[in-house]
Amino acid sequence: MLEAEPSIETILARRTSVRMVDRKLEEETFGSQLARFLRMIRRLCKLAFVFTPVVALYPLHWITSRTHKLLTQGGNSSQEPTDAHELALQTLMCGDDVLQSIWVGWYWQLCLYCVEWSGAACIKIMQWAGSRPDMFGREFCSVFSRLQDSTTPHAWKHTEAAMKDAYGDDWQDQIRLEGVIGSGCIAQVYKGAILPKVADDKGEVAKERPIAVKVMHPCVEDDIDADLDILRMSIRLLENFGPIKDLKWLNLPGFIEEMAIMLKTQLDLRKEGEHLVRFNENFAGNPVVVFPKVIDDYQPTRRVLCETYMDGVPLLEFVKTHRKDQKMLTVMCNEAIRAVCQMIFLGECVCHG
């Protein structure tokens, strides 16, 4: 599976990524620079339009939420748990209550809607923030954790176009797609099946094979490129004129390029297919940790990935359902720690051994 430490080639590539970006910018023609600038302006206008309601209505949200706390708690704020396990459980339990509350639910729904419209980069940031109740609080995380796999799916026409481009005009004669079972910032996943074909001269027909099909959202790459350009421009301004101009040791341009590499890698589902192959090789024979497998007859493309369907329960839902069974949760945590240790310390040995 993936290495614990990046290779020397990867480190050198990351160290030179900023210089490569600068060189590309210098070599661009005036027309391409103008197009890049107009794309950033258009993106900034969209972000300003999307988040204006969030900023404008925040005072009303603060007043209503404060009034609600005073009425329900008599002015005494409840003590937040300090134990990480208890904090996570409370975050899981209060999600529906927050969104359904007439006092604060309207504002959180608005925030979710605006973040989804803002694009993949913003959703990715909020996905991370939604997993940190120790930093951002229970209400915030219980709401934004929904962005992990419950974003609004894209239209069917985009899926049809991606499937046609990947597997031909007759793809519907080969694969049946059912409902969307998950949607994130980069792609959405369908439950589907490979349609049976005549197996031999006797007319015996093979059974349907359940599969999961991951399809990338449309226009994701353009939004990410624009967001990265905005971040690069902001960092340049801050380094030259802002309060951090004397803190160049922070290497903020390098941080932006690291994030760019992470996001760009996810824009090609063939990379995910390669990782699945490596995961299965490194965990072969492990009865506890199981990964989906790439469907051999339908190799991954840049926008579509077909893999074996594995029924299961999301981790947070499992913890919520079995929160009283500490023994089971302890076993699960121990197995997860072993898997992580194998990824970090034994992955290279298993891969080359």
Q: What is the pTM of this model?
A: 0.76
Q: 44-53, 118-127, 202-211: which range is least confident on average?
A: 202-211
Contact yes or no for 109/99 (Cβ under 8 A): yes
* Structure token pair of residue 19: 């210089």
Cα torsion 183, 151, 46, 250: sign: negative
Q: How many CB atoms lie within 10 A of CB 351?
A: 13
Instruction: Work out the average pLDDT over 109-125.
Output: 87
Please state, in angstroms and rounded to a whole number, the distance separating the CA atoms of residues 141 and 316. 12
Q: From residue 284, how far is each of 61, 99, 264, 280, 351 by CA, in Å? A: 52, 42, 29, 6, 11
Structure confidence at residue 83 (pLDDT): 53
Place of tokens 């951090």: 244
Please state, in angstroms and rounded to a whole number, the distance separating the CA atoms of residues 342 and 335. 11
Place of tokens 């077909």: 306
**HEC per residue, 113-153:** HHHHHHCHHHHHHHHHHCCCHHHHCHHHHHHHHHHHCECCC
Helix, coil or strand: residue 267: coil
The angle at the Cα of 218, spanning 213 to 221, to the nearest 5 degrees, equals: 110
Cα torsion 5, 6, 9, 11: sign: negative
Give, to the nearest 10 degrees, the angle between helix 120-129 and helix 105-118: 130
Please state, in angstroms and rounded to a whole number, the distance separating the CA atoms of residues 115 and 125. 10
Q: Per-residue pLDDT tens for 333-350?
A: 899 898 888 888 775 544
pLDDT of 99 above 70: no
CB-based burial label for 324 (10 Å; 0-12, 13-18, 19+): exposed
Write the single-letter amino acid at 211: I
Q: Per-residue pLDDT tens for 248-263?
A: 666 777 777 887 887 8
Q: Per-residue pLDDT tens for 291-337?
A: 999 998 899 999 999 999 998 887 777 887 887 888 988 888 899 89
Question: How would residue 75 be classed by pLDDT, with cut points 50, 70 and 90?
Answer: very low
Helix, coil or strand: residue 306: strand
* Structure token pair of residue 23: 């060189």
Question: How would residue 70 be classed by pLDDT, with cut points 50, 70 and 90?
Answer: confident
Strand partners, 216: 187
Q: Which residues contact 138 (CB under 8 A, 6 or more apart)?
A: 80, 87, 90, 91, 94
Q: How many CB atoms lie within 10 A of CB 19?
A: 11
CB-based burial label for 338 (10 Å; 0-12, 13-18, 19+): middle
Question: How would residue 277 be classed by pLDDT, with cut points 50, 70 and 90?
Answer: very high
Structure confidence at residue 9 (pLDDT): 47
pLDDT of 228 above 70: yes
Structure confidence at residue 27 (pLDDT): 62
Please state, in angstroms and rounded to a whole number, the distance separating the CA atoms of residues 318 and 162. 33
**Cα–Cα nearest to 306, from 193, 155, 225:** 193
Helix, coil or strand: residue 185: coil
Ramachandran category for residue 74: left, alpha or beta (phi over 0 → left; psi -120 to 50 → alpha): left
Contact yes or no for 256/235 (Cβ under 8 A): yes
Write the single-letter amino acid at 236: R
Question: How would residue 5 be classed by pLDDT, with cut points 50, 70 and 90?
Answer: very low
Question: How would residue 3 be classed by pLDDT, with cut points 50, 70 and 90?
Answer: very low
Place of tokens 């992470």: 262
* Structure token pair of residue 281: 């090789």
Q: 80-84, 105-109, 177-181, 303-307: which range is least confident on average?
A: 80-84
Q: Per-residue pLDDT tens for 19-29?
A: 555 555 556 67
* Structure token pair of residue 224: 């990410």
| Mean of pLDDT over the chain | 79
Please state, in angstroms and rounded to a whole number, the distance separating the CA atoms of residues 274 and 276. 5
